[in-house]
A and B are shown apart, each in its own frame.
Chain A
Amino acid sequence: MSPVAFEANNPLRDPRDRRLPRVAGPCGVVLFGVTGDLARKKLMPAIYDLANRGLLPPGFALVGFARRDWADEDFAKVVHDAVKQYARTPFREEVWTQLAEGFRFVPGDFDDNDAFDTLARTITDLDRVRGTGGNHAFYLSIPPKLFPVVVGQLKRSGLSARNGDQWRRVVVEKPFGHDLKSARQLSDTLNDVFPPDSVFRIDHYLGKETVQNILALRFANTLFEPIWNRSYVDHVQITMAEDIGIGGRAGYYDGIGAARDVIQNHLLQLLALITMEEPVNFEAQSLRLEKTKVLSAVRIPADLAAYTARGQYAAGWQGGEKVLGYLDEDGIPKTSKTETYAAIKLEVDTRRWAGVPFYLRAGKRLGRRVTEVALMFQRAPHLPFAATATEELGQNALVIRIQPDEGVTLRFGSKVPGTAMEVRDVNMDFAYGESFTESSPEAYERLILDVLLGDPPLFPRHEEVELSWEILDPIENHWARSPQPEPYRSGGWGPDSATAMLARDGRVWRRP
């Protein structure tokens, strides 16, 4: 019987009893890449926060694996420091003590058979001592090029094998390949050892409350759905801007670029959530069905030169601070053609969206850090005012702010006080983030818990990943044949070619 079936038969569970959260069953997590930034800043704190909120099972175990000469206590110290510094919830000694009892560390290289045999013994031992019940998640917080060797080792040492009701799951972080071919290779590598429903791809964006709120906004209200189509929407702008440069990520970023880094996953996932039809229910399967449907209907422009734009940030001043240009950053070759800004125009060939352009842009060293989706509505077909009265009236807009300052803004015209009739844009604001940030869970908490519960709705499957590469690959190929990306001023809103791209359609980028 599956765990879900047990829960349905649990006399203490009642769908009306919404006070009771779902707690993961007996299990443990094996973390590869414990010394990485992500592990220290996000994963370890998230695990502690989950424990603190009482959502981890009694007897939970965390095993670290790395090429360090550490004992269990050294590992515990590393986690302790990470938790103290980055955890969201207050530090409680009793929670920590209990959690730390389940920490183990296995030193070794990824190609070291002995180390993986030790790992296998450690896990069997945990099942006996801590009662993890043979249920383990392998979190690969390591570069994708190491996946094949680690996954191979998991198979060789028998770690990926399960008995009866037990589960073994593998968790991978983006990037899910760098084009369609490599994405398929990655899926093959993983699926060779783990069945598709045991592979969890983490795109932390999808764990964000505001992203999930898009579904609530669209499908729980009557107000928006009637205008959520080509009859009212003029165009849509999806923006992800960062004010930082590439920082210490030169090795990862060069050769990848803005489009592969964020458009392929975050922005196309946002596009899918905004454009998809209503799923018949909120089961993972139904959601995925609608998302793949709409992603398969995405069409790229015929004239890629005119309707894509890219740039590299140049040296300059950003917000009162002198910053380096991309080509001057440490570890970046002077001839690098990697873009730090990318903008593309897409269309969605469905009855709902035919003819509505979707403008996606992502970049580094832009004006400020912001991610948002803006639905720009058509102008009123007729304005019964004098032309001078509506000069300052823009397009109505519904803006879903993903980060920071999560919320929703509605922009519409309002009369300016005074005797003359004059209409100007005003904002109506719903601040979701402002009031909830402190206590709303981190995306990683939600996602790790979902992995342990085996609840897949928030994880992209390989179909979605492959579809998004199919959209991006022709654009990347076009760029590979094009000259050097256009430099743009740090701290601004991107290169002139991006402005020109919208101007061709008679539109302008919103200042987010």
Chain B
Amino acid sequence: MNRDLQDTKSSAILTALTEARRGSGNAALGMVLTLIIDVNENEHYDALHAANSAAREHPCRIVTVIRRPGKSAPRLDAEIRVGQENLLGEVIVLRLYGLLRDQADSIVLPMLLPDAPVLVWWPGQGPLIPSRDQLGMLAQRRVTDAAASSSPTASLRQRAQEHSPGDTDFAWTRITPWRTLLAAALDQPFDEIIGGEVSAVRGNASAELLAAWLENRLGIDVIRKSTRGPGITGVRLLTRRGEITLARPDGRLATLIRTDQPNRAVPLPRRGTEELLAEELRRLDPDDVYNETIQCIFGNKPDSKPSSKPTAGRREPTAAVQAGRAKEAAPAKKAAPAAPAKKVTAARKVAPEKRVAPVKSVVPAKKAASGARSKT
């Protein structure tokens, strides 16, 4: 059953939803989570399609938030889909106009399922600091996709700086099959591993994560090699007497090569959005291993000496960033905001717009750093 509501509000949407559910005769009370999709009009069809497939494994309420461009009066339009074929949960599509674009959290809040976990997914560019995003603050789990941004590795690095538990990125989800095969390879007896190499198309965020994971887990240096793709094309682990290599030149079929053993072929196709989302929905607690890995990318590896470059931004944050932090940490951190209360409120107001700028300016420096690294 489909219902369109124009110029409406949250309570009316919820009433309509209950009626629609009754009308279609299914009491969809088995829903296990709320999935918020923050997306633009162009991408919403594909995102919703993927979410519907993922909902077969995890029945959920899907709340899609679309902010409409243009200068119009504040208005909220909603679409409700319940009890259709191939649809196990419920779908609410919200379109926000004018000033309401900045009030998404207040509209979505009443629509969260009681007690159930909340996951927010940005199929597109997404916020730089997911945990401080309006919608991100409603959720336990925040899923971004670095590959959807113009510069994947840069945005991964930026998010790594402000990472908070519960954030994950599709760049990480994409390499689960790689990690699975590599871990399985080391379930068998192996020689001491002395080095490694990850080859991928230039600027691939997943390759960056895979290399960081291997460095962190194996305590080796991993060389990043750029190839023509598609995606990641191979991982090589050098051992004392040979190598363990997983090569995937065509993006479909991989070969596991171990010294003194026959080559073994294994399918390793690139994963679709549905599959990625379904995997994310499977874990609703923070991913500790991802947290560790992403800290390594940022250079906070426990064993590495503190390099001044990456942390510089942290030690001397610009005024706007500091204001943004003060907002969060105000009650706890009494010493820091020495400025009068008035000033802080003033800064707070401008923070949302200005916050973005200084962080972005870090990009070129970072890029240079990563370039230098891969040359070594």
Indicate, yes or no, whether A interacts with B: yes
A305 within 8 A of B: no
Q: How far is the CB of A43 from chain B (nearest CB, A)?
A: 20
Q: Is the CB of B265 within 8 A of A98?
A: yes
Query: B254: nearest residue on chain A (CB-CB)?
Result: A58
Stretch at the interface among B112-120, B179-187, B355-363: B179-187
Q: Is the CB of B262 within 8 A of A54?
A: no
Residues of A within 8 A of B268 (CB): 54
Q: Is the CB of A59 within 8 A of B56?
A: no
Residues of A within 8 A of B58 (CB): 435
Q: Is the CB of A10 within 8 A of B267?
A: no
Q: Is the CB of A13 within 8 A of B180?
A: no
- Encoded as 1 (CB less than 8 Å from any B CB) or 0, chain A from 102 to 139 comes to 00000000000000000000000000111101000000
A58–B218 alpha-carbon span in the complex (Å): 22
Q: Is the CB of B252 within 8 A of A94?
A: yes
Q: Is the CB of B56 within 8 A of A6?
A: no
Given contacts A7-B187, A14-B289, contact A431 B57 (CB under 8 A): no
B189 within 8 A of A: yes
| CB-contact partner of B266 in A10, A11, A58, A440, under 8 A | A58
Stretch at the interface among A17-25, A348-356, A380-388: A17-25
Residues of A within 8 A of B88 (CB): 434-435
A216 within 8 A of B: no
Query: A52: nearest residue on chain B (CB-CB)?
Result: B267
| CB-contact partner of B177 in A54, A57, A94, A133, under 8 A | A54
Query: B262: nearest residue on chain A (CB-CB)?
Result: A131
Given contacts A19-B279, A20-B176, A20-B183, contact A429 B265 (CB under 8 A): no
A206–B262 alpha-carbon span in the complex (Å): 36
Q: How far is the CB of B51 from chain A (nearest CB, A)?
A: 14
Given contacts A11-B217, A14-B289, contact A58 B187 (CB under 8 A): no
A16 within 8 A of B: yes
A6–B184 alpha-carbon span in the complex (Å): 10
- Encoded as 1 (CB less than 8 Å from any A CB) or 0, chain B from 253 to 287 comes to 11110000111111111000000001100010001
A435–B32 alpha-carbon span in the complex (Å): 10
Q: Is the CB of A434 within 8 A of B266?
A: no
Residues of A within 8 A of B42 (CB): none
Interface residues on A, range: 35 or more
Q: Is the CB of A94 within 8 A of B267?
A: yes
Q: Is the CB of B184 within 8 A of A23?
A: yes
Q: Is the CB of A59 within 8 A of B256?
A: yes
Q: Is the CB of B264 within 8 A of A58?
A: yes
Q: Is the CB of B183 within 8 A of A439?
A: no
Residues of B within 8 A of A58 (CB): 181, 254-256, 264-266
Count residues of chain B with CB under 8 A from any CB of chain A: 45
B188 within 8 A of A: yes
B83 within 8 A of A: no
Residues of A within 8 A of B219 (CB): 11
Q: Is the CB of A23 within 8 A of B181?
A: yes
A353–B253 alpha-carbon span in the complex (Å): 56
B59 within 8 A of A: yes
Q: How far is the CB of A18 from chain B (nearest CB, A)?
A: 7
B331 within 8 A of A: no
- Encoded as 1 (CB less than 8 Å from any B CB) or 0, chain A from 445 to 473 comes to 00000000000000000000000000000
Given contacts A19-B287, A131-B261, contact A98 B180 (CB under 8 A): no
Q: How far is the CB of A78 from chain B (nearest CB, A)?
A: 21
- Encoded as 1 (CB less than 8 Å from any A CB) or 0, chain B from 24 to 66 comes to 0001011000000000000000000000000011110000000
Given contacts A98-B266, A430-B30, contact A20 B256 (CB under 8 A): no
A290–B30 alpha-carbon span in the complex (Å): 32
A78–B183 alpha-carbon span in the complex (Å): 33
Residues of A within 8 A of B188 (CB): 6, 25-26, 133
Given contacts A59-B262, A131-B262, contact A439 B278 (CB under 8 A): yes
| CB-contact partner of A19 in B56, B217, B265, B283, under 8 A | B283
A222–B289 alpha-carbon span in the complex (Å): 30
Q: How far is the CB of B352 from chain A (nearest CB, A)?
A: 34
A400–B231 alpha-carbon span in the complex (Å): 46
A25–B264 alpha-carbon span in the complex (Å): 12
Query: B291: nearest residue on chain A (CB-CB)?
Result: A16
Residues of B within 8 A of A52 (CB): 267
B85 within 8 A of A: no
Q: Is the CB of B30 within 8 A of A431?
A: yes
- Encoded as 1 (CB less than 8 Å from any A CB) or 0, chain B from 202 to 228 comes to 000000000000100111000000000
Q: How far is the CB of A438 from chain B (nearest CB, A)?
A: 5
Q: How far is the CB of B115 from chain A (nearest CB, A)?
A: 14
Q: Is the CB of A434 within 8 A of B30?
A: yes
Q: Is the CB of A21 within 8 A of B180?
A: yes
Question: Could you list 18 A-B pairs, sorted by A, with CB under 8 Å?
Answer: A6-B189, A7-B187, A10-B186, A11-B219, A12-B186, A12-B217, A17-B288, A20-B176, A20-B180, A21-B180, A57-B184, A58-B265, A59-B256, A92-B269, A434-B88, A438-B56, A439-B56, A440-B57
Other contacts beyond A13-B186, A59-B262, A435-B30: 20, CB < 8 A: A11-B218, A12-B183, A16-B288, A16-B289, A17-B289, A19-B279, A19-B283, A20-B176, A23-B180, A25-B187, A54-B177, A54-B181, A92-B267, A94-B252, A94-B253, A98-B253, A131-B263, A133-B188, A439-B57, A439-B278
